[in-house]
Structure 1
Amino acid sequence: MHILWDFDGTLFNTYPAFTETMYKLLKPEIRKEHIFEQLKVSFSHAARTFELTEEDIAVFKKQEKALSPVLKPPFPYAEEVLRYASKNVIMTHKPRNEVEAILKHYRWEHYFDEIVAGDDGFPRKPHPAAYEYLHRVHRIDLAIGDRELDILPARELGIKTCLFQNDAAGADFYLNDYRLFIDKIAASF
């Protein structure tokens, strides 16, 4: 099975660290749960919702980049799914150097045949260009992401989709825990 992975919120549990970083920029009466919900839509959505200035955005990005990979751990059992797959690729908006630093910290670099990162020149999701490229080169069987915008390009290309910890309509499969991958998804291929 060839799997295309999103990074933040799918392979790595980064949103709690992102939430904490944004919380420090905002008024204390804004609940962390509300920040988390907005960030899960997208960073630009959260920035608009909380009326972040360009300066606020620059501060957030600088602080987020400085966070230790220890604060961005992999989701439990994701590594078992990586081992199960015959090929794994990543498509993320995150800059390549940040992706590689986290993968190196957890010694996961060897699991991935290719990474398309946010600074590689492809249009942002949900534009399908990066997915088209990865599918052409690697013949993707399944795209896994935590947000609807992660699965829209795959659906457009006829690739099976899985939403992780998200029950929005439109995915072929849904997982809240990677322990269930073999029973719920792998058996379908």
Structure 2
Amino acid sequence: MNILWDFDGTLFDTYKAFTNVLHEVLKGSVPPDEIFLELKKSFTHATAFFQLSEDQIAEFKLKERAISPEKKRPFPFVEDVLKQSNLNVIMTHKPREEVQTILDYFGWNHYFQEIVAGDDGFPRKPDPTAYRYLHDKYKLDLAVGDRVLDIVPAKEIGLHTCLFQNEGEGADFYLDTYEDFYITIKI
């Protein structure tokens, strides 16, 4: 199976770290569980929802980049899926350097044929341009993401879709853990 992966919240459990940083930026004025819910929609959404100033956004980005990859661990069993797949690619809004830092830390570069990162010039999701590019090049079977935003472009170009730890409408498959990935996903 050839799989397109989102990065944050799909391969790596990064939202806990993001939540802690935004909680700090907001000086503890918003409960972490509320921050988490808004961040899961998107960072852009959260900045508008919490009415962050440009200085607060810059502070968040600076502090988030400084977090050790140790605090951005891969989800359990996802490496098993990567090992069994024929091919894996990543499409993320995260800057390439940050993606590479985490992949390098965990020794995971060899699992991915290609990475389309946020600073590669492609339009942001839900625009399907990057998905179409990767699909045309690698003949993908499935797109896995943690937000509906991740599956919209996949649906548009005809890929099967899987939402991870999200029950939003529209996915072909839903998973809370990667432990039974190949049992659950039958394409």
Q: TM-score range with shorter-chain normalisation?
A: over 0.9
Q: Which residue of 2 aligns with 1:101?
A: 101
Aligned partners of 2:63 and 2:133: how far apart in 1?
Answer: 32
Q: Which residue of 2 aligns with 1:176?
A: 176
Q: Which residue of 2 aligns with 1:52?
A: 52
Cα deviation per residue 1:128-174 (whole Å; 9 max; x = unaligned)? 00000000000010000000000000000110000000000100000
Tell me the amino acid that sits aligned with residue 129 of structure 1: T
Tell me the amino acid that sits aligned with residue 140 of structure 2: I
Alpha-carbon RMSD across the aligned residues, in angstroms, is 0.6
Cα deviation per residue 1:17-71 (whole Å; 9 max; x = unaligned)? 0000000011423110000000000001110111100010001001101110001
Tell me the amino acid that sits aligned with residue 171 of structure 2: A
Q: Which residue of 1 aligns with 2:145?
A: 145
TM-fit CA distance, 1:180: 1.5
Name segments (4+ residues, structure 1) moved above 2 Å. none
For structure 1, which segment, 134-143 or 26-35, has the greater mean C-alpha deviation from structure 2 after superposition? 26-35
Cα deviation per residue 1:51-110 (whole Å; 9 max; x = unaligned)? 100010001001101110001000000000001100000000000010011001000000
Tell me the SS of whatever aligns to 1:88.
strand
Aligned residues: 187
Tell me the SS of whatever aligns to 1:9.
coil
Aligned residue runs from structure 1 range 16-165, under 5 A: 16-165=16-165
Tell me the amino acid that sits aligned with residue 53 of structure 1: S
TM-score for both structures, normalised by structure 1: 0.98
TM-fit CA distance, 1:125: 0.3
> What percent identity do the matched residue pairs reach?
58
TM-fit CA distance, 1:182: 1.4
Q: Which residue of 2 aligns with 1:11?
A: 11
Tell me the SS of whatever aligns to 2:17.
helix
- 2:23/2:29 contact within 8 Å kept: no
TM-score for both structures, normalised by structure 2: 0.99
